[in-house]
Amino acid sequence: MLRYIILWLFIMTMIKLTITFYDDLQQQSIDSTSLALPFDDDDLNKDKKQDSFNLTMNESQYVNATATNRTVIEYYREYVQRKNQEQFMRNKHLFSLTTTRYILLVQVHTRVVYLKKFIEMLKDVQAINQTLLIFSHDFIDAEINVLVTNIKFVPVIQIFYPFSQQLYPDEFPGLDPNDCPRDIAKHRALSSRCKNAPYPDKYGHYREVSIVQIKHHWWWKLNYVFNSIQVLQNRSDLLVLLLEEDFYLSPDALFFLKKMENEKERICPECLIYTLGNLEKSGRQFNNIGSKVSIAYWHARYNLGMTITYSFWCSIVKHAEAFCNVDDYNWDWSLVYLAQKHFNYPRVIWSTSARVIHLGSCGIHHKKTCSNQSDIARWDETKKFYETNQQYLFPKKPLTIHAKYEAKRPLKQINGGWSDVRDRQLSQVSFDLYQRQHFASFHSVPFHRPSITTLRSMVRTTSTCSAQQSNLPRLPVPTLADTARKYLKTVAPLLNNDEFNETKKIVEEFQHESKPLQELLLKRADTEENWLSQWWLDKVYLEWRSNLPIFYNPALLLPRQSYRDFDGQIQFAAHVIQGILQYRSLIDSNQIPVDRFGSDPLCMDQYRKVLGICRIPAKSIDRLHLYNKTGHRHVAVFHRNNIYRLPVYDDQGNKLSAADIYSSLKKLADSKGSDEKQTLIGHLTADERQLWAPIHEQLSLVPENKNFFDTINDSLFVLCLDENYQSSSGTAIKKDTQTLIGLNFLHGGGTKYNTANRWFDKTLQVIVAPDGYSGVNYEHSLAEGGIITALVDYVLDHCKTTQPLVSTNKPSLLNKCQVVIPKDVEQSISESEKRVNKFIENCDLTVYKYPEFGKEFAKQNKLSIDGMIQVALQVAYFRMHGKCGATYESGSLRRYHLGRTETIRSCTLEAQQFARAMSEQHNETGSNTKYELFLKAMQAQRQYTTDAINAKGIDRHLLGLRLIAAENNLPKPALYNHISYKRAMHYILSTSQVGAKHDCVMIYGPAVDDGYGCCYNPRNDSINYMVTTFKINNGGTNPIEFSNHFNSSLTDIRSLIEVRCWYMDDVQDNPQDDHRLKDIDVPTLCDRTGVQVWHFEPEKTFANNECPSLAKLKQDRGYTYEDEVKVQPSMEKYEEKLKMFFAEHIHTDEEIRLVLDGSGFFDVRDCDDKWMRIHVFPGDLIILPAGMYHRFIPDSKNFIHVRRFFLGEPVWTPVNRPDGDTHPSRQDYVKNLKHHN
């Protein structure tokens, strides 16, 4: 307690000293309007004592802040927030909303000497009073404020970078004590567990706060100026000149800038950028080139005195994510990266004679031996230089081109320094914060600036989010040898012998042909945060030109609710909306629990890419309308093909209640009879992309349609209130209900039903029907199915806790949106309707719940339910079509940063052999052999799954090599044209497990005409699944018939697992035969004998790779000694030992055997003294109770390798029957068994 009292007294003393300092300063001969406080004129009489904190602290004190000045830092954070919100303009009488176009944006640090000279210099610049001067500070300083408040000749606004090192001196974004030192080796960083240890930059260095702050500040200030300063809103004519406090402007700098702008159309109409400076310190001689300009493709060398136009800024922010993620701490080189990778190099027109000169030499890139005094001397020299060449300033004759450079300077390498995930996310925060505000202002939507608490939570969220993100490894590139080896293995089931032998030669060539491509791919992996993610988005999704529904947009069928009328429909819809709003709050506040695979954290990036997103059609590649935390305040409601805007937040940003939302939706009930169906529009989003794009463009050009598209694009999600699919037409649809509803959610059933009541471009559509059914349809570009089911599980849990709603009788907030269709577009829309209906009619579906077993059965038998389902699918297809086909199963790569999916190729040689053995044409194979083949198929499936989710699959690697070849205009290897590749990529079975807590199933279409789509959700005691096919050119596919084969395959596999045990006859001949009388399952065996049967992955039973569950079993049961035995004909006295093993006997301790290889029979007596036989295989562990009569013998293969476990020193003394009948262990066993039964 005494410590806190002393600390409090110390703080109070510091405050008192500060106040005294302020009073002393106030008595000096300083005019009140230039008082050295960070305050505007009107603030000088408010809270002077509190605001004078800044006078006592210099930069070094802030950087080394301790708990004693924490109060000061807290105040300064609030101060910065308040000042940025107020946007106070000095000398406002000089500012014009209509004529002020030039913005001088000056980035200021702590170089007061420079700033003083800079302000003096500005007085000599002609027309400076017609500009707006904005100082953007990253440090609050009294002396700087004295200089700024004394400016009288130009309108001035001060803004403050809110995430500066001064405001966060000992935590991110400043220097966190746990940050990795810049030059620490990665292996040492990992062992020390410093922050961002897995992510050094390309040169092996870690974050430097003073360096990264420059790019952060540059990015933040431009986002703020273009999108947040109120007096500049809706101004697309702005020209922002980027300056620093050590820049010198010639007297005619603004004159010359205006001259370049006025003459641009004559000399360089394609130029987007004007630059007034060059890299020279002294300027050029003006005598013959004072009125000349040069033209080039923009590069970092043209960054001095550079202007940013509104159109160029739009080009930059379109690729904001790339700017925020490129590993370069320089803003200008990051722009060069964008110019090279994401948009065409912009042209720049620059003054051949420098009108802006960089005089300072004490910046971040200069030597530490620099001298401010020598720099100040250069200010005077430069002023004299311009005075001497005054006759060449303000040129009157037209501009002429001095030089025109046609070469595009390539980005040879990035500079690093920007690998910390926290920095990348913080820069995204700056973008999200102010881009959303700009939209709100432009569209007259209320926008509420975040409070200081919200701002600070953004920083903390960035830090917290990156805590797990920064530990995620980057996606590795597999080796060519690995991919080649696995490729041969995966295509083997698809080829005959001749084709396979030919493929081996092609694959050998592929390894040589792909070496240069592999090098390029490795370089891309070094420079990209995820070498695949942008390609995956662009090439797989946004460049897709066919239809979205069926092919790309999955649907999710939810459990049926209890309501059966329209009122119940909109009540449930209101509860769903409220649940999604709550889930959004969890996402935005970073409270979604981190998903894990075992103990490994998974990438959470996709959770932020479900709400508020919309896909916009374009000719060759679609674009995405992205999410912003502070926007998306309404839901787009579709009903009877009409579109409505439904606000779900009030003017203060608070979520509306479910009752308020319900009351607004009731307006639809009141108008239901009179509200005619809208002209069909929604179905256009189900058309082919290249056909929808021109129609979208034509409709978007109609001014009256702006509200219509804004309502959809900027909505949080789309709510589709459907009519009853089963009764909306006079013709009955002959489908079972689940299948019927599934088709409705997948594609809407055609324009006669609900297809026009959809917007398939929206990432999330929630569909609510009047008969208790509901579902989701989602655009797949940015998120996988598991992310959607997580949201749905949360919302359904929320809905379970709700009560019936009562209308609040408030005025409805629902506003109908009208769409105007030009005459020349009507025909295109009509043709689209016909195409879409024909396309939808081609899809067939069945939805089924397999009732016989689920996850629990697999768990009891120590098997993977996913593996069982995948193997059953192979059997089903083989039984129906007599062959195997390439199979796609989605495997998650979310262990890696920005990871999406890899293909699990479930059609293995082992699965093919098992499917053949299980087919009716090959039913002579015995049960034991089938079971052994089943285990091998399961093992192959498990191994490929493990490889895939650890980025060791083949498909993404092969895709990357093909794309890197195309990107660099290199020939692709011959493999890509080979029959093996074409067959491997023709996915006959397109499958995925999408698990959900609730009774759901996801639905999507096949990948090829003659294929099947199959998605499944294993439940505890059942399996929900669906099967889709096409009707045209389908190669004999049929969803119902395939479903029947799938069901029987699952049942047969269950029987195969359960018939590892059976009652046996009296052995009269060879004991190594089956001797099967009546099959029983393992649980019955265990119940009637007390035997325990376990199964472990065979490869994890060896001592150097023992699985944790086996180790735990040994520990729990006290097994302290173990050995291994191989029973085989080569062992000494083999026949004699077989007779000994097969003699009926008991042991005084329990007998434990783990099968490592081979197979054999354990025979045990049940409670009625009948023999039961257990067939054991690799991975099986059997525990026989002490005192139980049993015997053992290998099966017909004559080989078994087992590990024996003992309780202490091994005791292997058999007591044969009848001697064992009176043994205490036998009597205890019988007593316990009778008691149990």
pLDDT tens for each residue of 597-627:
887 889 999 999 999 999 999 999 999 988 7
The pLDDT value recorded for residue 820 is 94
Nearest to 345 by CA among 407, 415, 301, 265: 407
- Most confident range (mean pLDDT) of 172-186, 348-362, 435-449 is 172-186
Is residue 1151 pLDDT above 80, yes or no? yes
CATH fold of 845-1058, please? Answer: Chloramphenicol Acetyltransferase (3.30.559)
Q: How far apart are the C-alpha atoms of 518 and 522, rounded to whole Å?
A: 6
The pLDDT value recorded for residue 61 is 40
If you average pLDDT over residues 666-688, what whole number do you get?
78
Q: How far apart are the C-alpha atoms of 349 and 1068, rounded to whole Å?
A: 101
Contact assessment for residue 1083 and residue 961, using Cβ atoms and an 8 Å cutoff:
no
Is residue 1162 pLDDT above 80, yes or no? yes
Is residue 355 pLDDT above 50, yes or no? yes
Q: Residues 859, 862, 866, 872: is their CA dihedral positive or negative?
A: negative
Q: Give the confidence band of 1130 by pLDDT, cuts at 50, 70, 90.
A: very high
User: How many Cα atoms are found within 13 Å in the side-chain-facing hemisphere of 225?
Assistant: 33
Q: How many CB atoms lie within 10 A of CB 593?
A: 8
Contact assessment for residue 134 and residue 225, using Cβ atoms and an 8 Å cutoff:
yes
- In the numeric block, the tokens 């103990």 are attached to 599
Q: Which positions make up the binding site? A: 107-111, 138, 213-217, 246, 284, 358, 855, 859-866, 888, 890, 892, 901, 942, 993, 1145, 1147, 1151, 1190
Q: Residues 951, 953, 956, 959: is their CA dihedral positive or negative?
A: positive
Is residue 866 pLDDT above 80, yes or no? yes
Q: How far apart are the C-alpha atoms of 579 and 594, rounded to whole Å?
A: 20
The answer for residues whose C-beta is within 8 angstroms of residue 701's C-beta and 6 or more apart is none
Percent of the chain beyond pLDDT 70? Answer: 85
Residue 1054 or residue 920, greater confidence:
1054
Q: Give the confidence band of 459 by pLDDT, cuts at 50, 70, 90.
A: low
Residue 678 or residue 80, greater confidence:
80
The pLDDT value recorded for residue 691 is 97
Could you write out the three-class secondary structure of 653-682? CCECCHHHHHHHHHHHHHCCCCCCCCCCCH
φ and ψ of 410, to 5 deg: -75, 155
Q: Give the confidence band of 858 by pLDDT, cuts at 50, 70, 90.
A: very high
DSSP 215-271: HHHHHHHHHHHHHT-GGGTT-TT-EEEEEETTEEE-TTHHHHHHHHHHHHHHH-TTE
Contact assessment for residue 514 and residue 541, using Cβ atoms and an 8 Å cutoff:
no
Bridge partners (DSSP) of residue 179 are 195
The residue type of 368 is: K
3 exposed, middle or buried (CB, 10 Å; 0-12, 13-18, 19+)? exposed
CA distances from 200 to 172, 204, 333, 416, 1027 (A): 17, 5, 19, 9, 46
Predicted structure pTM score: 0.62
pLDDT digits (tens, 9 = 90+) for 324-335: 888 899 988 888
CATH fold of 1061-1236, please? Answer: Jelly Rolls (2.60.120)
Q: Are 565-818 and 1061-1236 in the same CATH fold? A: no
Q: How far apart are the C-alpha atoms of 315 and 457, rounded to whole Å?
A: 29
Is residue 440 pLDDT above 50, yes or no? no
CA angle 655, 656, 660 (to 5 degrees): 170
Q: Which residues are catalytic?
A: 780
Bond from prior residue into 1218 cis (ω within 30 degrees of 0):
yes
Residue 75 or residue 946, greater confidence:
946
Pairing of strands 989-993, 1012-1018: parallel
List own/partner pairs for 381-384 with CB under 8 A and 24 or more apart: 382/248, 382/282, 382/283, 382/357, 383/121, 383/124, 383/248
If you average pLDDT over residues 301-321, what whole number do you get?
85
Nearest to 127 by CA among 34, 241, 13: 241
Q: Give the confidence band of 927 by pLDDT, cuts at 50, 70, 90.
A: confident
Contact assessment for residue 915 and residue 989, using Cβ atoms and an 8 Å cutoff:
no
Residue 369 or residue 52, greater confidence:
369
pLDDT digits (tens, 9 = 90+) for 1075-1108: 988 888 777 888 889 998 887 766 666 666 677 7
Is residue 244 pLDDT above 50, yes or no? yes
Q: Where are the beta strands (DSSP E) in 771-886?
A: 774-778, 815-817, 843-850
Of 74-83, 668-677, 802-811, 1185-1194, the one with minimum mean pLDDT is 668-677
Q: Where are the domains of the chain?
A: 248-419, 565-818, 845-1058, 1061-1236
Cite the DSSP H helix spans in 861-975.
865-881, 909-918, 927-949, 955-967
The pLDDT value recorded for residue 105 is 96
The residue type of 780 is: H
CA angle 616, 621, 625 (to 5 degrees): 30
pLDDT digits (tens, 9 = 90+) for 90-119: 999 888 877 889 999 999 988 888 899 999
The pLDDT value recorded for residue 901 is 97
The answer for residues whose C-beta is within 8 angstroms of residue 85's C-beta and 6 or more apart is 449
The residue type of 186 is: K
Nearest to 537 by CA among 623, 473, 628: 623
pLDDT digits (tens, 9 = 90+) for 58-98: 433 433 333 345 567 888 888 888 888 888 999 998 888 77
Structure tokens at 1006: 């096949």
Contact assessment for residue 1192 and residue 1142, using Cβ atoms and an 8 Å cutoff:
yes
Q: How far apart are the C-alpha atoms of 734 and 726, rounded to whole Å?
A: 10
Nearest to 118 by CA among 220, 7, 246: 246
Q: Which positions make up the binding site for Fe(2+)? A: 1145, 1147, 1151, 1190
The pLDDT value recorded for residue 23 is 36
Q: Give the confidence band of 466 by pLDDT, cuts at 50, 70, 90.
A: very low
Is residue 32 pLDDT above 80, yes or no? no
Q: How far apart are the C-alpha atoms of 409 and 479, rounded to whole Å?
A: 32
Calculate the CA 697 to chain-centre distance.
29
- Most confident range (mean pLDDT) of 748-752, 774-778, 1065-1069 is 774-778
- Most confident range (mean pLDDT) of 312-321, 545-554, 1056-1065, 1109-1118 is 545-554
Q: Give the confidence band of 971 by pLDDT, cuts at 50, 70, 90.
A: very high
The pLDDT value recorded for residue 436 is 47
Bridge partners (DSSP) of residue 241 are 104, 307
Helix-helix angle 70-86:452-469, to 10 degrees: 110
Contact assessment for residue 748 and residue 757, using Cβ atoms and an 8 Å cutoff:
yes
Contact assessment for residue 272 and residue 302, using Cβ atoms and an 8 Å cutoff:
no
Q: Give the confidence band of 37 by pLDDT, cuts at 50, 70, 90.
A: very low
Residue 441 or residue 738, greater confidence:
738
* Mean pLDDT computed over every residue of the chain: 85
Is residue 671 pLDDT above 70, yes or no? no
Percent of the chain beyond pLDDT 90? Answer: 53
pLDDT digits (tens, 9 = 90+) for 413-425: 788 999 888 888 8
Helix-helix angle 566-588:658-670, to 10 degrees: 140
The pLDDT value recorded for residue 752 is 92
Contact assessment for residue 116 and residue 147, using Cβ atoms and an 8 Å cutoff:
yes
Instruction: Please say whether the structural domain 565-818 has been given the CATH code 3.30.559.70.
Output: yes
The answer for residues whose C-beta is within 8 angstroms of residue 909's C-beta and 6 or more apart is 489, 492, 493, 940
Of 200-214, 611-625, 717-731, 932-946, the one with minimum mean pLDDT is 717-731
Contact assessment for residue 580 and residue 611, using Cβ atoms and an 8 Å cutoff:
yes
Is residue 672 pLDDT above 50, yes or no? yes
CA distances from 532 to 474, 536, 538, 779, 893 (A): 10, 6, 10, 20, 11
Rounded-to-10 torsion of CA 973, 976, 981, 982: -160
Q: Which positions make up the binding site for Mn(2+)? A: 246, 358
Phi-psi region of 234 (alpha: psi -120 to 50; beta: other; left: phi over 0): left
Calculate the CA 419 to chain-centre distance.
18
Nearest to 744 by CA among 721, 761, 762, 763: 721
Contact assessment for residue 1178 and residue 1206, using Cβ atoms and an 8 Å cutoff:
no
Q: Give the confidence band of 441 by pLDDT, cuts at 50, 70, 90.
A: very low
The pLDDT value recorded for residue 411 is 67
- In the numeric block, the tokens 């027309």 are attached to 127
Q: Which positions make up the binding site for (R)-carnitine? A: 888, 890, 901
Q: Give the confidence band of 288 by pLDDT, cuts at 50, 70, 90.
A: low
The pLDDT value recorded for residue 778 is 98
Of 409-423, 850-864, 1183-1197, the one with minimum mean pLDDT is 409-423
Structure tokens at 1148: 């005084």
Pairing of strands 400-404, 292-297: parallel
Structure tokens at 775: 């579902």
